[in-house]
Amino acid sequence: MPTLTPNDNTQLCVALVQQDIAWLQPELNFTQLETLLTKRLSDYAHPVDLILLPETFATGFAVDLAVAEAQPGPILQWLITAAQRFQAVMAGSVLVKQGAKQVNRFYWVRPDGTISYYDKRHLFRLGNEGEYVEAGQSRAIFTLGEFRFLPQVCYDLRFPVFQRNRNDYDVMVNVANWPAARRHIWDTLLMARAMENQCYVLACNRIGTDGKGVAHNGGTAAYDFKGEPLVQSPDDQACVEIVQLRKNTLDEFRAGFPAHLDADEFMLR
């Protein structure tokens, strides 16, 4: 694996966590995550810049149960503490109270304690998510070094118009509780999004059976802008994969094949 240059904002090191989420047990999930990350990162020579966690990493996808926290709450506080401890951006989704319902909020927590977020736009109809969760109303772009990130959550992956690259991002991120029964669709759409948007794609999914009896087998992976896998986690195994992203490689590819210049103009409502 090529060596990253320290303090080079055109290169990023990302840790992707594949986790067996303990149902409705935040403290146990925190402990398991800290153990996984500490062991893996201590074996890695270069500090990571971003740590990506699955959708609802602290509770599981329990949208119909009273697990949403007020803002700020203990799950967000854990993310803040972990970002400081590992000196990396911590990112993953949390169910957060909002009015009579809640939002499925993707947090982007920096080591200095500053926070950005994106609320999941597309709610999973088969899981009745819309009955309990308010849909997000806007798209978000986060920055880290010279990279621009488009955050997405699970079911968002099926809606390419919302994810269309308007020349405003370099990396698409999707955190999920994507079931094993539809795993082929997950793998295929991730590659397609990377190719059609000429971007890196980072995907983080859970493993294990949740409290509803739904099985998940992983699929955590990173793809380059041609849809080629950079790293892929083994199925059904809790682990942390590390991938290195290079902005100059992406820029060179886009310059040599500038398909984005021929994209259709459109507006989302």
For the annotated catalytic residues, the residue numbers are 55, 120, 154
Distance, in Å, from the CA atom of 185 to the CA atom of 178, rounded to the nearest integer, reads 10
In sequence order, what are the beta bridge partners of 18?
A: 239
Distance, in Å, from the CA atom of 87 to the CA atom of 49, rounded to the nearest integer, reads 7
Distance, in Å, from the CA atom of 202 to the CA atom of 221, rounded to the nearest integer, reads 6
In sequence order, what are the beta bridge partners of 265?
A: none
Q: What does the DSSP assignment read for 187-237? A: HHHHHHHHHHHTSEEEEEE-EEE-TTS-EEE---EEE-TTS-EEEEPPTT-
Q: Specify whether the CB–CB gap between 67 and 59 falls below 8 A.
A: yes
- Residues whose CB is less than 8 angstroms from the CB of residue 8 and which lie 6 or more positions away in sequence, other chains included: none
Question: To 5 degrees, how large is the angle CA 233–CA 237–CA 241?
Answer: 35
How do strand 50-52 and strand 11-18 relate by DSSP bridges? parallel
